[in-house]
Amino acid sequence: MKTGSAWLSVLVACSAYLLCAGGGLAQSGGQTAPQLRMYTSSEIAMTGYDVVAHLPADSWRTAFRLPTFSNREEAVAALQNEAAQRGADALLNVGCLDQGRGRWGWSNEPAFLCYGVAIRVRTG
Protein backbone atom coordinates (compact mmCIF):
# COMPACT_ATOMS: atom_id res chain seq x y z
CA MET A 1 0.00 0.00 0.00
CA LYS A 2 3.01 2.27 0.19
CA THR A 3 2.87 2.80 -3.59
CA GLY A 4 -0.75 3.94 -3.40
CA SER A 5 0.01 6.56 -0.77
CA ALA A 6 2.98 7.80 -2.81
CA TRP A 7 0.76 8.30 -5.85
CA LEU A 8 -1.79 10.07 -3.69
CA SER A 9 0.91 12.42 -2.39
CA VAL A 10 2.03 13.20 -5.94
CA LEU A 11 -1.57 13.82 -7.01
CA VAL A 12 -2.22 16.16 -4.07
CA ALA A 13 1.02 18.07 -4.71
CA CYS A 14 0.25 18.46 -8.43
CA SER A 15 -3.30 19.60 -7.71
CA ALA A 16 -2.09 22.18 -5.20
CA TYR A 17 0.45 23.47 -7.70
CA LEU A 18 -2.13 23.75 -10.47
CA LEU A 19 -4.62 25.57 -8.27
CA CYS A 20 -2.05 28.05 -6.98
CA ALA A 21 0.07 28.49 -10.08
CA GLY A 22 -0.50 31.41 -12.36
CA GLY A 23 -1.05 30.97 -16.04
CA GLY A 24 -3.81 31.27 -18.52
CA LEU A 25 -5.15 34.80 -18.27
CA ALA A 26 -2.66 36.31 -15.87
CA GLN A 27 -1.89 39.93 -15.32
CA SER A 28 0.91 41.32 -17.41
CA GLY A 29 3.18 42.33 -14.52
CA GLY A 30 3.40 46.01 -15.41
CA GLN A 31 3.54 45.58 -19.16
CA THR A 32 0.91 47.25 -21.28
CA ALA A 33 -1.52 45.02 -23.11
CA PRO A 34 -1.41 45.03 -26.90
CA GLN A 35 -4.38 46.90 -28.32
CA LEU A 36 -6.10 44.25 -30.40
CA ARG A 37 -9.14 45.28 -32.38
CA MET A 38 -12.38 43.93 -31.00
CA TYR A 39 -15.11 42.91 -33.46
CA THR A 40 -18.71 41.89 -33.00
CA SER A 41 -20.13 39.11 -35.15
CA SER A 42 -21.90 41.64 -37.39
CA GLU A 43 -18.70 43.60 -38.13
CA ILE A 44 -16.70 40.87 -39.82
CA ALA A 45 -17.69 38.11 -42.23
CA MET A 46 -17.27 34.51 -41.07
CA THR A 47 -14.91 33.89 -43.98
CA GLY A 48 -12.75 36.87 -43.03
CA TYR A 49 -10.90 35.29 -40.10
CA ASP A 50 -9.40 32.14 -38.63
CA VAL A 51 -10.17 31.15 -35.05
CA VAL A 52 -7.06 30.91 -32.87
CA ALA A 53 -8.65 30.15 -29.48
CA HIS A 54 -11.77 30.51 -27.38
CA LEU A 55 -10.59 32.44 -24.33
CA PRO A 56 -10.44 31.54 -21.53
CA ALA A 57 -12.28 28.26 -22.24
CA ASP A 58 -9.47 26.70 -24.29
CA SER A 59 -7.29 26.47 -21.21
CA TRP A 60 -7.44 23.36 -19.03
CA ARG A 61 -7.01 25.68 -16.04
CA THR A 62 -10.64 26.81 -16.30
CA ALA A 63 -11.69 23.42 -14.95
CA PHE A 64 -10.19 24.51 -11.62
CA ARG A 65 -10.33 28.32 -11.57
CA LEU A 66 -11.83 31.11 -13.66
CA PRO A 67 -9.59 34.14 -14.19
CA THR A 68 -11.31 37.12 -12.55
CA PHE A 69 -10.07 40.69 -12.16
CA SER A 70 -11.01 43.68 -10.03
CA ASN A 71 -12.23 45.77 -12.98
CA ARG A 72 -13.28 45.38 -16.60
CA GLU A 73 -10.19 47.11 -18.00
CA GLU A 74 -7.80 44.65 -16.31
CA ALA A 75 -9.88 41.71 -17.51
CA VAL A 76 -9.91 42.92 -21.12
CA ALA A 77 -6.15 43.65 -20.97
CA ALA A 78 -5.49 40.09 -19.75
CA LEU A 79 -7.69 38.73 -22.54
CA GLN A 80 -5.76 40.80 -25.11
CA ASN A 81 -2.41 39.61 -23.71
CA GLU A 82 -3.43 35.98 -23.91
CA ALA A 83 -4.76 36.40 -27.45
CA ALA A 84 -1.55 38.13 -28.58
CA GLN A 85 0.58 35.37 -27.01
CA ARG A 86 -1.35 32.81 -29.03
CA GLY A 87 -0.75 34.71 -32.28
CA ALA A 88 -4.13 36.43 -32.67
CA ASP A 89 -4.45 39.94 -34.03
CA ALA A 90 -8.06 40.62 -32.98
CA LEU A 91 -10.83 39.51 -30.64
CA LEU A 92 -14.39 38.57 -31.55
CA ASN A 93 -17.54 38.81 -29.39
CA VAL A 94 -15.86 39.95 -26.18
CA GLY A 95 -18.16 39.87 -23.19
CA CYS A 96 -17.52 40.70 -19.55
CA LEU A 97 -19.47 39.64 -16.49
CA ASP A 98 -19.25 40.84 -12.91
CA GLN A 99 -19.25 37.57 -10.98
CA GLY A 100 -20.85 39.28 -7.98
CA ARG A 101 -18.59 37.95 -5.27
CA GLY A 102 -20.13 40.38 -2.81
CA ARG A 103 -23.17 38.11 -2.57
CA TRP A 104 -21.67 34.65 -2.86
CA GLY A 105 -18.00 34.77 -1.92
CA TRP A 106 -15.59 35.79 0.78
CA SER A 107 -14.86 39.26 -0.57
CA ASN A 108 -16.99 42.30 -1.29
CA GLU A 109 -14.75 43.22 -4.21
CA PRO A 110 -16.07 42.88 -7.77
CA ALA A 111 -14.72 40.00 -9.83
CA PHE A 112 -14.87 40.53 -13.60
CA LEU A 113 -14.62 37.63 -16.01
CA CYS A 114 -14.16 38.43 -19.69
CA TYR A 115 -14.38 35.94 -22.52
CA GLY A 116 -14.09 36.04 -26.29
CA VAL A 117 -12.72 34.43 -29.42
CA ALA A 118 -9.13 35.14 -30.42
CA ILE A 119 -8.93 35.44 -34.21
CA ARG A 120 -6.44 36.08 -36.97
CA VAL A 121 -7.97 38.34 -39.62
CA ARG A 122 -7.39 37.20 -43.20
CA THR A 123 -5.91 39.76 -45.55
CA GLY A 124 -6.77 40.02 -49.21
13 pLDDT above the threshold of 80: no
Mean pLDDT, rounded, for 60-69: 88
Kindly report the average pLDDT of the chain as a whole number: 79
HEC string of 32-76?
Answer: CCCCCEEECCCCCCHHHEEEEEEECCCCHHHHCCCCCECCHHHHH
Q: Give the residue numbers spanning the domain of 62.
A: 2-121
Between the two ends of the chain, the Cα-to-Cα distance in Å is 64
Q: How confident is the model over 15-28, as a mean pLDDT? A: 46
**Number of compact structural domains in the chain:** 1
Q: What is the CATH number of the domain that holds 106?
A: 3.30.110
pLDDT attached to residue 105: 59
Q: What does pTM read for this prediction?
A: 0.69
> Does residue 112 carry a pLDDT above 50?
yes
From the list 61, 52, 63, 54, the residue with the least C-alpha distance to 24 is: 61
